[in-house]
Structure 1
Amino acid sequence: MPATVRPATLADAPAVTDLLNAVDLIEIGRPETDLHTVEADLKHPEADLERDSWLAFEGGELVSYGLLWDESGGERIDVDHYVLPDHQQAGFDVLGSMEARALEKARANGAERAVVHLHLNVRPTTDTARLRERGWKDVRRYHVLHRPLDGAVDLPPAPPEGVRIRPCTTEADRRLVHRLYQTSFAEHFDFQPRAYEAWLSDIDADGLDWSLVWLATTDDLGDAAFLMSRNDREAMGWIRSIGVLSDARGRGLGGLLLRHAFAAFAALGRDTVGLGVDTSNATGAPELYRRQGMTVHYAVDTWETVLG
């Protein structure tokens, strides 16, 4: 019997969370998906749930989930896709609908083709052989890193002379973090420029503790770096992004901000902190994180297909 497929609603967030945690358990050995993260995804302003989300059920069980959103306004379309390993046909039924919708969205943007990106664990529940047969290919690898914390060891670092770290406390600070983010990430793989209000939605700003976002300032360059973190993941404290302006790289600001974040999370009682990094990052970020004691938790590949 073919799967029953329908759009998702916000009320489906608990069931989707359970599905994603079942996939987590298979792929990384433990559940690491939080309900609020799924709710934030379903509220994405560029996703029309009626047309851009899919739930596939077999025998009343949710076996596959897909979500599509468009941040580029052009040919680049992003999708999330999850499937339980014994329900591949249902998963690929969902994927086929997502591909058709991606091309429709891109053409509505005035593009002739859709360039679609999907992130999958390097050992995913999805049948990657079938994925390749459909024209998908893996184009980039990311590592999710983690590091143990110890409140007796991970103490706040003393900034060098001429450097100051401050929390993000005002609206002006938030806008500054946005500008630093847009500038420092502009040349990174898959970067999509975002206006301030759209960026706030991207980072789930309503659920963000801004006291865990810090700015680094130097006497000669002014505000030159930022670190954005969040403490609402059950599995670990999370560093969402860290950016240093090109003129300020090589001066230790990234390491200083990392150690500051480690100390803050340790003081909050967290025993682990994590982050994600592009393994081909040209700014030296993977080596920086290695020097700060971070190791690989698991790896994720970006898959791409070109439609049209």
Structure 2
Amino acid sequence: MSLLQLTPDLLSTALPTGWRAHAPGRDDVPDLHALRARHEVAATGAESASEDQTHAEVAGDAAGTRTHVMVRDASGDVRGWATAHDRAGGRVLVAVVVDPELDDATGDDVAAALFAWAQGAGAAHARARGLDGTQLDSGAFAPDARQQRRLAAAGYAQVRTWWQMKRPVDATDRGLRPTRPGVVVRRLTREVGGLPPERDLLAAHDVLEQAFTDHFNHHAETFGEFLARLRSDPGHRWDHWWLAELVDGDEVLPVGVLLGAASVDDHGRAVGSYVEYLGVLRAARGRGVARALLDAIVTDAAERGRTSVGLEVDADSPTGASELYLSAGFTTSYVTQSWHRYTNAC
């Protein structure tokens, strides 16, 4: 039987003697989060994911589009974890986390088995969508040569670099900033029941789909997929979404959107804000729309007493986004890489 067909039981046969693989559940979340934290600290010197995020992905609202396997050694300690996330049609996000405390030879063997499992899981996601195959989209921290070596051994190639940026926020950032003539930025309002009007949600989705068409590795999402994915994030807040509109008399045209979220600590407290997406229609670029949206979330964070706003930007973006963020006071905290390969569904 090929590695592409590995179930957790069969995966165990590719591991050191006495080690076992199994699908994780709610009770495994603390161990998985501790493993993820060790991996992040070894690569960048700091944790970047909260335990709430790990819980959401394994046993919470975000688990429905993800397949997981975890590896325990003969003593029962968690040593590896792989996830295949059905992100969009033709795109599966693959995450492989190996305990940095393992020696290189053992870690390489565990990584190879987990990447092989993830390839099979990605193929299964593609089959479920009726596709002939799918892109497998994984990544690494820029300083993590060990993970990059393991990605290359699994058939992945580096395709992009991303800056993880952050801007400090304080009381001087409070107060609305002026926008250019004809540009109006408004927070999505909520109706009875807590949801924004459907017209605003549809506008946000439509603007993002159009704005990101010329962006690297864009894969279209249905409206339902879009809403379900963003609402599954523990940091999701409807009042962190803004629409930008061009107003000319009675004509109002949505041209930009910023979807934000709360950055929460391990106690569930919102300590910062995060820009999940910022998109502006091509025809409206150069009119200060993106800066107006960015100002909105910075002002909002300051008024909530938060300490920072974070975001991710394509280091090679053709839209000049990185220049905008640098001019707005953002600096790079750390750098990540995208690594891709393709797999057939059968």
2:9 aligns with none
Task: Please give the alpha-carbon distance, in whole angstroms, between the structure 1 residues aligned to 2:133 and 2:254.
Answer: 40
- More displaced stretch, 91-100 vs 237-246: 91-100
Task: Please give the alpha-carbon distance, in whole angstroms, between the structure 2 residues aligned to 1:276 and 1:16.
Answer: 24
- 1:242 paired with 2:273, answer no
The alpha carbon displacement at 1:91 in A equals 2.8
The alpha carbon displacement at 1:34 in A equals 1.2
Gaps of at least 5 residues in structure 2 are 1-15, 190-195, 266-270
Are the aligned partners of 1:136 and 1:305 in contact in 2 as well (CA < 8 Å)? Answer: yes
Aligned-residue CA RMSD (Å): 2.2
- More displaced stretch, 202-211 vs 296-305: 202-211
- Opposite residue 158 of structure 2, the aligned amino acid is D
- Opposite residue 326 of structure 2, the aligned amino acid is R
The alpha carbon displacement at 1:152 in A equals 2.1
1:264 aligns with 300
Greater Rg over alpha carbons, structure = 2
- 1:288 paired with 2:321, answer no
Task: Please give the alpha-carbon distance, in whole angstroms, between the structure 2 residues aligned to 1:72 and 1:205.
Answer: 15
1:8 aligns with 24
Task: Please give the alpha-carbon distance, in whole angstroms, between the structure 2 residues aligned to 1:94 and 1:237.
Answer: 33
Are the aligned partners of 1:5 and 1:55 in contact in 2 as well (CA < 8 Å)? Answer: yes
1:44 aligns with 62
- 1:171 paired with 2:171, answer no
Task: Please give the alpha-carbon distance, in whole angstroms, between the structure 1 residues aligned to 2:126 and 2:233.
Answer: 29
- Opposite residue 243 of structure 2, the aligned amino acid is L
The alpha carbon displacement at 1:71 in A equals 3.6
Are the aligned partners of 1:27 and 1:125 in contact in 2 as well (CA < 8 Å)? Answer: no
- Opposite residue 188 of structure 1, the aligned amino acid is H
1:56 aligns with 71
2:172 aligns with 152
TM-score, normalized by length of structure 1?
0.90
Task: Please give the alpha-carbon distance, in whole angstroms, between the structure 1 residues aligned to 2:238 and 2:114.
Answer: 37
Are the aligned partners of 1:184 and 1:244 in contact in 2 as well (CA < 8 Å)? Answer: yes
Are the aligned partners of 2:246 and 2:253 in contact in 1 as well (CA < 8 Å)? Answer: yes
| 1:277 maps to which of 295, 299, 313 | 313
- More displaced stretch, 255-264 vs 146-155: 146-155
Are the aligned partners of 1:83 and 1:125 in contact in 2 as well (CA < 8 Å)? Answer: no
SS in structure 2 of the partner of residue 203 of structure 1: helix
SS in structure 2 of the partner of residue 152 of structure 1: helix
The alpha carbon displacement at 1:11 in A equals 3.6
- Opposite residue 199 of structure 1, the aligned amino acid is F
Task: Please give the alpha-carbon distance, in whole angstroms, between the structure 2 residues aligned to 1:153 and 1:109.
Answer: 46
- Opposite residue 249 of structure 1, the aligned amino acid is R
SS in structure 2 of the partner of residue 258 of structure 1: helix
2:228 aligns with 201
2:85 aligns with 69
Are the aligned partners of 2:140 and 2:147 in contact in 1 as well (CA < 8 Å)? Answer: no
The alpha carbon displacement at 1:301 in A equals 0.7
The alpha carbon displacement at 1:33 in A equals 1.2
- Opposite residue 294 of structure 1, the aligned amino acid is F
1:184 aligns with 211
| 1:35 maps to which of 14, 38, 51 | 51
The alpha carbon displacement at 1:103 in A equals 3.1
Deviations 1:152-207, CA, capped at 9 Å, x for gaps: 24532122332222111222322221121111112222222111221112213575
Are the aligned partners of 1:54 and 1:66 in contact in 2 as well (CA < 8 Å)? Answer: yes
1:213 aligns with 241
- 1:140 paired with 2:140, answer no
Task: Please give the alpha-carbon distance, in whole angstroms, between the structure 2 residues aligned to 1:153 and 1:230.
Answer: 18
1:85 aligns with 100
Q: 1:163 to 1:110 in 2, by over 3 A?
A: closer
Are the aligned partners of 1:85 and 1:125 in contact in 2 as well (CA < 8 Å)? Answer: no
Are the aligned partners of 2:42 and 2:100 in contact in 1 as well (CA < 8 Å)? Answer: no
SS in structure 2 of the partner of residue 298 of structure 1: strand
- Opposite residue 62 of structure 2, the aligned amino acid is H
- More displaced stretch, 167-176 vs 118-127: 118-127
Are the aligned partners of 1:47 and 1:67 in contact in 2 as well (CA < 8 Å)? Answer: no
Task: Please give the alpha-carbon distance, in whole angstroms, between the structure 1 residues aligned to 2:21 and 2:342.
Answer: 25
- 1:251 paired with 2:287, answer yes
